[in-house]
Amino acid sequence: MRIIMIYRDGEDYTRAVTDFLHDFGRATGGYKIEEVNPDTKDGDSLARTYDIVEYPTLIALTNDGVMQEMWRGTRFPLISELTYYIQQ
């Protein structure tokens, strides 16, 4: 399973994103959610593939790229809800 946070640094929501990433890492013993900037080549490709137009967006993917869940905006899922996807 892969969990990816797609966001732009320096936006109004950046602090909420970095706080969430930090809290998630602490709660899961250091698991790092992948961070992707949608303005990069890889980020643009990822956003197009999964039709992501709002940032921040958090997605859970299987290892072969099938999307399991998507959360848009700063209403992030509970950490316990998200840990379900890293245990798969």
**Is the separation of the CB atoms in 73 and 16 below 8 Å?**
no
The secondary structure element, H or E, covering residue 29 is none
Question: What six digits make up the tokens of 4?
Answer: 């990816």
> Whose structure tokens read 């992501």?
52
Give pLDDT tens digits along the chain (88 positions).
999 999 999 999 999 999 999 999 999 999 999 999 999 999 999 999 999 999 999 999 999 999 999 999 999 999 999 999 987 6
Domains and CATH numbers, the chain: 2-86 (3.40.30.10)
Kindly report the pTM of this predicted structure. Answer: 0.92
